[in-house]
Amino acid sequence: MLTKLKQHFAQKERWRWETAVSWYRLRYREAAEVSRCLYLLSQADACGRVALRFQPGAVARLWVGVANLYAPLLRQMATDFGFTLVPLQTIAIDMQPLIAVTDLPWKRPFHAHLCHGHLFSSGVAGGSAWPTPAEKGVRLLSLPQPPPVGLGLDGTWPSLSPLADLLAARPEPDRWLLGWGEAETMLSTAGNVNLYGSYAADWLTRQLTHTLAVHHAGLVVLDGRGDLVPRLKRQAAVTRLLGRDLSYVDMDGAAVVDGFDPLAPVPGESGAAHRARRARWMRQMGLHQAGLELLETAPLADLNALQKWLSAPAQQRQRVAAASLENILERLLSERQLRQWLEWPVNRYAILPGGTLLFTCREQGWPQQQLLLAVLLAACAVPDIRLVLHGLPWQQVDMGALPARTLVSNGPPLSDALPLLTACQPAHIPALAQRYLKDDPVLTEYLHLLRPGEGVICHAQGVTHTTWVEQAMHKPHPQKEIYAYAFR
């Protein structure tokens, strides 16, 4: 009777503790460091008890759980000890009895507790629902080293052999640079590229910095999020080009420097082509057909001159057409800061195709979106242009009309484009893995491990890893000694 009563209270205590645990998926590089961290956490002066769950397979999984109160401490130690934690939203409570063990059974699934440095694991006959150190377990936790796939922080990507159409002996102006492959080989591609990932701006900053350093002519970068072009402006390879070889337009800038004319002609553009581009821009903004017919008779001028022309009596007599065009222009010029930019009609396209145009507009209002699309239409009118599109209103972009060398960041797929995946938030990885990695569990795991500046090229022959960053040196962190002293 006494034994049953003890079991009842043990199960009740176990249930109370398990329902107040924060769970994280654990990945690491050095097993000894993580083992020591968990050992310190399990001491009476810290958490007192740490839970572990393990699932073997082609991609193994290891989860660690601590009482909710100590979750911030675990996350801080992960930062200091060099391992990663991915929080779980829900996890089923496991009430299997636990028994003292001298090692964990890494060949099969298990649920374990590390209590005051003592190990207790499931899957063994007997045991207790709420084991205590008095039951004597081993005092050293040993994690697999090297970590198997799913537990490690580094992935070994399969390489393509040969990569004849991706290898580049030197940078060429008609190819996109894609970073460094194995054995310090430069990778590049001709044609279109589709870039996907939560950290696409970081990858693009590195890629475009290299691109501008070796060949800056005929490049247009449109940034509709404001997290790419301002970064580029701070790079030494970009600042040396400002003025003569590079034009930088920030529509969110506080001061009016030179202004901007979205309707300016591009080099070599005929009058008929200029009129067709202006009409196309107005049409996609919803201009009435009568307004389009009236626009055909308007002079090729900037927006302010167009407004003045429209106010003349000859145009005002065509009420429906004039009202339709007036509404579009008033909406474009409704914001004071944009109106100040547009009141100074400077042709920023004149630097093309011999130079580079960087255009950013982080605000997502309707006028800002239309200005982005105006620059896009102008860029498409320049022969042999290289175009980078980041954060545009994709539903308004005619993807079939883009140049043959276009790089699209997190946008609709281009025809015959080479997909390139960068570091991504965990929530976005399943969709990318399903589309481009055929849901391969190992490749999907490696996708989780990408760092900013790294990417995965999804070639027709397979996948290959590329990077713009050097391998990081994993040095000991002095904070570890502080933890060891505090929990001693």
The string of pLDDT tens digits covering residues 280-323 is: 999 999 998 999 999 999 999 999 899 899 889 888 888 888 99
The continuous run of DSSP H or E covering 457 comes out as: strand 454-459
State mean pLDDT over 463-472: 76
Q: What does residue 136 show for φ and ψ, rounded to 5 degrees? A: 60, 100
Nearest of 173, 137, 129 to residue 12 by alpha carbon = 129
State mean pLDDT over 148-160: 80
State mean pLDDT over 464-473: 70
Q: Whole-angstrom Cα distance, residue 130 to residue 72?
A: 24
| 99-103, 157-161, 444-448 — most confident range | 444-448
Report pLDDT for 200: 94
For the chain, the C-alpha Rg in angstroms (whole number) is 30
pLDDT at 482 over 60: no
Q: Whole-angstrom Cα distance, residue 466 to residue 175?
A: 16
Band of pLDDT at residue 3, cut at 50, 70 and 90:
low
Q: Whole-angstrom Cα distance, residue 49 to residue 32?
A: 19
Band of pLDDT at residue 101, cut at 50, 70 and 90:
confident
**DSSP letters along 311-379, please?**
TSHHHHTSHHHHHHHHHHHHHHT-SHHHHHHHTS---GGGGTTTSEEEEE----SHHHHHHHHHHHHHH
Report pLDDT for 132: 80
Report pLDDT for 159: 61
Q: Whole-angstrom Cα distance, residue 466 to residue 116?
A: 44
State mean pLDDT over 69-93: 90
pLDDT at 93 over 60: yes
Q: Whole-angstrom Cα distance, residue 131 to residue 276?
A: 79
Report pLDDT for 354: 93
State mean pLDDT over 257-269: 88
Please give the residue that has the higher pLDDT: either 315 or 222. Answer: 222
Q: Whole-angstrom Cα distance, residue 218 to residue 94?
A: 61
Q: How many contiguous H segments (helices) and E segments (strands) does the chain have?
A: 16, 19
Residue type, 121: S
Nearest of 181, 182, 235, 243 to residue 210 by alpha carbon = 235
pLDDT at 471 over 60: no
The dihedral sign for the CA sequence 341, 345, 351, 353: positive
Q: Which residues on neighbouring strands pair with residue 112, listed in sequence order?
A: 52, 121
Report pLDDT for 434: 94
Task: Please write the tens of the pLDDT for every residue from 156-202.
Answer: 776 655 577 888 777 888 899 999 887 778 899 998 999 999 999 99
Q: Whole-angstrom Cα distance, residue 428 to residue 196?
A: 10
Residue 131 structure tokens: 């084991």
Residue 244: exposed, middle, or buried by beta-carbon count in 10 A (0-12, 13-18, 19+)? exposed
User: Is-cis flag, bond preceding 146, omega within 30?
Assistant: yes
Report pLDDT for 483: 38
State mean pLDDT over 242-271: 84
Report pLDDT for 158: 67
| 9-13, 76-80, 138-142, 233-237 — most confident range | 76-80
